Chains A and B, each alone.
Chain A
Amino acid sequence: GESVGLHLPTLSVQEGDNSIINCAYSNSASDYFIWYKQESGKGPQFIIDIRSNMDKRQGQRVTVLLNKTVKHLSLQIAATQPGDSAVYFCAEKGDYKLSFGAGTTVTVRA
């Protein structure tokens, strides 16, 4: 069956450094991928998405890279700030539903 997973459950990063969060997926038929951020006590919040016909998409301080050859998705956060501390989920979209990975907890050190 399909699965979406993250490589590391936790990531500690120094404030100001760049963060890279990785995700592997197994369903090669998925054509839409999303990164969500979930802060403590809140619901997931959309960060950025990418369709399978692209390999890179940039937002404000964030970049998503998609490598369909190895079924790998990554989220890069530039100049990480304390407010970036949260759990980050990758998700793939197929048949109207989102399948989420387990999440990576990012902690920003001052």
Chain B
Amino acid sequence: DSGVTQTPKHLITATGQRVTLRCSPRSGDLSVYWYQQSLDQGLQFLIQYYNGEERAKGNILERFSAQQFPDLHSELNLSSLELGDSALYFCASSARTDNEQFFGPGTRLTVL
């Protein structure tokens, strides 16, 4: 158990819909990272927050957005969902931006 929690574990929705994935980092960790893992693209970095502020952006679509709240939990919002958005979404946290990242168990999103 990494100490990072993600909810929900599974999510099934339809094209065009919007969903919110939630992540609680390890106690004391200030950085939160979001990754997408699909069969054809592997693990792709989406976005990082540090203490509430956006720190880095990766291959994140404009239909996706994220935020980190004062209590340091983070949410990833996915809108206008397409079939190709079906994937595992992982959250990771670290104490500082330069430290080892601890991954949560992931949310499996299925878009029908």
A interface with B by C-beta (< 8 Å): 32, 34, 36, 41-46, 49, 89, 95-103
Contact = CB atoms under 8 A, between A and B. Distances in A.
B11 to A, nearest CB: 15
A60 B53 CA distance: 36
Interface of B: 2, 4, 33, 42-45, 48, 55-56, 58, 90, 92, 97-98, 100-106
B101 A101 contact: no
Interface centre among B33, B56, B103 (most CB of A within 10 A): B103
A49 B94 CA distance: 14
Contacts of B55: 96
Nearest to A98: B45
Given A34-B100, A43-B104, A46-B100, A97 B90 contact: no
Contact of B100 (A42, A49, A89, A102): A49
Nearest to A43: B103
A43 B90 contact: yes
A96 B42 contact: no
